[in-house]
Structure 1
Amino acid sequence: MAQHAAATHAAIRPEAIPEERGRVRRVIAASSLGAVFEAYDLVLFGPMAAIIARQFFSGLDEAYAYVFTLLSAAVTFLARPFGGLLFGRLGDLVGRKYTFLLTIVIMGGATVAIGLLPTYAAVGVLSPILLMGLRIVQGLAFGGEFGGAVTYIAEHASAERRGLATSAVGITMAGGLMLAILVVLACEAMLGKAAFEAWGWRIPFLLSAVLMGVSIYMRLKLQESPVFVAMRSRGGGSRRPVTEALGQWANLRIVLPVLFGAVAGQAVATATGSYPIYLLMLNLKIDPFLLHYTILGYSTGLVACMIAAGWLCDRIGRKPVMLAGFLGTALLALPVYEGVTRYAHPDLAAAVAERPVVVAADPAGCSRPFDPFGLARFDSPCDVARSAVAKLGVPYTTRDLAAGEAARIEIGALALPSFDGAGLDGSAFTSRKTAFGKDLAAAVKAAGYPAKADPAKTDVPMLIALLSLLNAFVALASAPLAAWMIELFPTRIRNTALSVPYTLGGWFGGFFPAIAFSAFTATGNLYAGLWYAVAVLGVAFAVSALFLPETRGRALDAVP
């Protein structure tokens, strides 16, 4: 009897199942395609942010239109935890395969639907509402997609290759980024810039229907996870996975450090590595084609680094690799961002050094307009001056004036007085602010600040090198995450216990672009938002180092 029990136990161990390389490769490919959707769509919201702002948020001031565009990219992160609860529970109750088949249909359908949406010019405020609604649907689907996909892969892979196998989801995300850029470049080349911005921007979204069709076909051919099947055959499943994962201290004491340690750090590291896309486009205003080539170049390096990091965490452990990623990203972020500015737009860097823009005002009249949601009205002379400079994407410093002195913008010997909008109604304030912005743009141009980067002076190879260096550490922070989380939780609640902290932790990174852009508007410092990234990475490093164990080589059916 004991021998039979031992034989049965050995039969259900994934490490004891002979690894059929072709089958595992099919599992990885089919499971990872959902990550392609997320990366593909998020990247489209990067280089096409200016187009999205004009098409869906043209009723807002330009600076706020950009903020809302960034928020439309980030709103998926708000919805993800609810998707994690819904689809994670479903995955633990009915199986991994059918759950992530459902999520890929929902996610793909929402992406295609974005390409069919009417613009603000056609239907007014209904247009951004529909866009935000579809982004929320995408977030719900991805909330269950990631947990189901990596769990399914891990429960097929051998323990000695689990880190590399599960890192395939991150690798395909980088592949989706490259695919998005190639599609945008092809569409721009075939249609021309004017046609692409007018209606051709829809094509990249509509083409995602092909990805959805391929992934559905591949997933229909898959079998259920052998670890899940073995668990169900023993009657070991959980009837209340959400309650067990989040309501029992034995599991919650693992969920919490995973959330505030590994996941928060990975999310912010990823956001830190990708935010230069927005910096290059919104602030440095480099040529769109050069931006696309830059993204394509460093994405290629990111794929290679993700593969290397996944392999490395199978050799030395999940924990040391991720900790090195958190530390390296935090230390390199500022010098890399400064280098990106210098090599992308050297004329701007020179102008800032030689002829700095200064907002001089009585500090009592400055409200520090940190407004990531773009809903507040800042109409004091100081706030008007700061927002006008930030709207141009020009860095500035501040100088305090005595009480009662009029606020002004100083550029070398030129001083441009600001105005007080407190007594003006909405339309009058907007009109006055627009005129002030035009005067400021002319003054900035006369002072030698170019409206956009000169393509002939943009050093694309150096940009690729800098961003590749930063993203090498982002890969270290990302590749081991899925395997580490999977090995921490038991099979009966694994999908739920993984999905919920992963999707909640995504909030830390998802709102970084909006926080960084708003921090620049409030301070004039292009890199002000990095204080947030460095703080979160520091906390994540400490929590992970102190409270999370190493799990490399742990048998999945041996997790308590």
Structure 2
Amino acid sequence: MAATNDYNVISEKRNIWKVIAASSAGTLIEWYDFYIFGSLATIIATQFFPKGNETVALLSTLATFATGFIVRPFGALVFGRVGDVIGRKYAFMVTLLIMGVATTAIGLLPNYESIGVLAPILLLLLRLLQGLALGGEYGGAATYVAEHSPDKRRGFYTSFIQTTATLGLFVSLGVILITRLILGEEDFKDWGWRIPFLLSVILVIVSYVIRRKMEESPVFLQMKAEGKASKRPLHDSFMQPENRRLVILSLLGATAGQGVVWYTGQFYALYFLQTSLRIDFVIANQIIAVALLLATPFFVVFGALSDKIGRKPIMMAGCLVAALSYYPIYKAMAFYSGWNPADPLAPAMNPNATMLTLLIFIQVIFVTMVYGPIAAFLVELFPTQIRYTSMSLPYHIGNGVFGGLVPFIGTALVASTGNMFAGLLYPIAIAVMTFIIGTIYIKENRDIKWHP
């Protein structure tokens, strides 16, 4: 009997790692696809918008970038319903294919000089498809892994899914840097920027083949077998008062702050280095890439820690420390950048890359605190029959709207005020709001049991 139990434990562990590997591979590729656009924003601005005003072109590109985030909640509703009615696996197979087609198409899209105003319109439509796909992907992957995980290890196992967003950004930066270094600056700006988009088709095919072999979530199958599946997950998620209250609380008291901390520490930091501090494109991307690589293991550290002390204390601490630290950190970034306030449009001279990397690394640690435990937190908050739908909407509003608007709002505030630090007001305000609401109203659910 003991030998049989040992075998079952080993078999379960092998299965969960297969689930994590397959889910993470696909989710990483979707994040890679989604973030190439943001990583190449300064170049895309010159390709798809009229020349003449650099700031207007960049803001137009960031607005297009933001639409992909804004539409993510609609993807969450569409594919959340599919995932709760048909199955988790089917939903994120479809989202993977949509994302791959849209990303590859951006790499083939003619620029403004070739087709005029049609270029930014088509770019916007493809960006909307990317947002819809990602809106359905994350909730499915997080739910799928959580429902395969042992009750007391959900924070640890789901934290590997949490690494994929940052790793996807890291991979996108790595591919862009390698392509840029191989081709040279001129060829990369002219046509080489398309290569990272076109590589997506290979990654998507590989991930699709891996995901086809996966089985459906055991918790979902049990629910279906018992006849407890929801026939109206959208209605049950948002029209029932108690569940609607949980959706609103999880948005304002968790995902909104998590979203702004995530995008400030990574994307806005990149824009700040390039546009405000005028640091060279390659150096800025190298700084971000190294900081991301060094900090990524902490997603797992804080995910595992949340199994012991709870999701809420770690996430709330991350929001608070980020809000208190952003202003001095960005002041220090300006100091170590070599930026000359007497000539603010001149390129930064001799930036201290080591100190800048450290300052970005600290910001990404804040990211790992708020993001590492949040998948487990969200899946534990809602019942199985409406879990995919209910968790996806607040996650994607928090990240897609509150978080996705950080680069655009931050850049716009800097442009309108002339103060390079004005862009920090928005993420600080949202992080403080989340800390207050989350601390007072959010309930800890890490001890909830799904398995006998």
TM-score by structure 1 length?
A: 0.77
The match for 1:292 is 285
Deviation at 1:18, TM superposition (A): 7.0
Question: Alignment partner for residue 197 of structure 1, among 189, 193, 218?
Answer: 189
The match for 2:447 is 553
Answer yes or no: is the 8 Å Cα contact 2:339–2:347 preserved in 1: no
Q: CA offsets per residue over residues 343-372 of structure 1, 9 Å max, x none?
A: 12x2414x3xxxxxxxxxxxxxxxxxxxxx
Structure 1 CA distance for aligned equivalents of residues 176 and 339 of structure 2: 28
Question: Alignment partner for residue 462 of structure 1, among 355, 360, 370?
Answer: 355
Aligned: 1:540 with 2:438:
no
Answer yes or no: is the 8 Å Cα contact 2:30–2:96 preserved in 1: no
Structure 1 CA distance for aligned equivalents of residues 157 and 248 of structure 2: 25
Answer yes or no: is the 8 Å Cα contact 1:42–1:73 preserved in 2: no
CA distance 1:538–1:121, shift in 2 (3 Å): same
Question: Alignment partner for residue 495 of structure 1, among 360, 373, 388?
Answer: 388
The match for 2:346 is 451
Answer yes or no: is the 8 Å Cα contact 2:139–2:392 preserved in 1: yes
* 1:59-74 → structure 2 map (5 Å cutoff): 59=51, 61-74=53-66
Aligned: 1:309 with 2:204:
no
Which amino acid in the other structure matches residue 290 of structure 1?
A: I
Answer yes or no: is the 8 Å Cα contact 1:340–1:463 preserved in 2: yes
The match for 1:120 is 112
Aligned: 1:477 with 2:375:
no
Q: CA offsets per residue over residues 239-293 of structure 1, 9 Å max, x none?
A: 0010001000121111110011111111011111121100111121211221121
CA distance 1:339–1:165, shift in 2 (3 Å): same
Answer yes or no: is the 8 Å Cα contact 2:155–2:376 preserved in 1: yes
Between 168-177 and 211-220, the greater mean CA deviation after superposition: 168-177
Name the SS for the 2:422 alignment partner. coil
Deviation at 1:34, TM superposition (A): 3.9
Answer yes or no: is the 8 Å Cα contact 1:174–1:302 preserved in 2: no
Deviation at 1:211, TM superposition (A): 1.6
Q: CA offsets per residue over residues 491-521 of structure 1, 9 Å max, x none?
A: 0110000111111222111111111111111
Which amino acid in the other structure matches residue 205 of structure 1?
A: F
Deviation at 1:45, TM superposition (A): 3.1
Question: Alignment partner for residue 207 of structure 1, among 199, 205, 225?
Answer: 199
Deviation at 1:208, TM superposition (A): 1.2
Which amino acid in the other structure matches residue 437 of structure 2?
A: V
Structure 2 CA distance for aligned equivalents of residues 557 and 129 of structure 1: 49
Deviation at 1:198, TM superposition (A): 0.6
Aligned: 1:179 with 2:158:
no
Which structure dedicates a bigger proportion of its chain to helix?
A: 2
Aligned: 1:145 with 2:152:
no
Deviation at 1:550, TM superposition (A): 0.7
The match for 1:98 is 90
Aligned: 1:338 with 2:331:
yes
Structure 2 CA distance for aligned equivalents of residues 34 and 83 of structure 1: 17
Query: Share of identical aligned residues, percent?
Result: 43
Which amino acid in the other structure matches residue 499 of structure 1?
A: S
Deviation at 1:33, TM superposition (A): 2.9
The match for 1:508 is 402
CA distance 1:476–1:56, shift in 2 (3 Å): same
Structure 2 CA distance for aligned equivalents of residues 338 and 141 of structure 1: 37
Structure 1 CA distance for aligned equivalents of residues 252 and 28 of structure 2: 26
Q: CA offsets per residue over residues 187-242 of structure 1, 9 Å max, x none?
A: 11221111111101000000111221121011100000000001111111000010
Max Rg structure: 1
* 1:307-386 → structure 2 map (5 Å cutoff): 307-344=300-337, 346-349=338-341, 351=342
Structure 1 CA distance for aligned equivalents of residues 199 and 389 of structure 2: 32
Deviation at 1:38, TM superposition (A): 4.3
Q: CA offsets per residue over residues 346-402 of structure 1, 9 Å max, x none?
A: 2414x3xxxxxxxxxxxxxxxxxxxxxxxxxxxxxxxxxxxxxxxxxxxxxxxxxxx
Name the SS for the 2:108 alignment partner. coil
Structure 2 CA distance for aligned equivalents of residues 39 and 301 of structure 1: 19
TM-score by structure 2 length?
A: 0.95
Answer yes or no: is the 8 Å Cα contact 1:47–1:288 preserved in 2: no
Answer yes or no: is the 8 Å Cα contact 2:88–2:217 preserved in 1: yes
Answer yes or no: is the 8 Å Cα contact 1:37–1:107 preserved in 2: no
Which amino acid in the other structure matches residue 239 of structure 1?
A: K
Which amino acid in the other structure matches residue 290 of structure 2?
A: G
CA distance 1:42–1:333, shift in 2 (3 Å): farther
The match for 2:5 is none
Structure 1 CA distance for aligned equivalents of residues 200 and 294 of structure 2: 24
CA distance 1:348–1:41, shift in 2 (3 Å): farther
CA RMSD in angstroms comes to 1.7
CA distance 1:553–1:196, shift in 2 (3 Å): same
Aligned: 1:271 with 2:263:
yes
Q: CA offsets per residue over residues 162-189 of structure 1, 9 Å max, x none?
A: 1121122220222112211221121112
Deviation at 1:460, TM superposition (A): 0.8
Answer yes or no: is the 8 Å Cα contact 2:32–2:171 preserved in 1: yes
The match for 2:4 is none
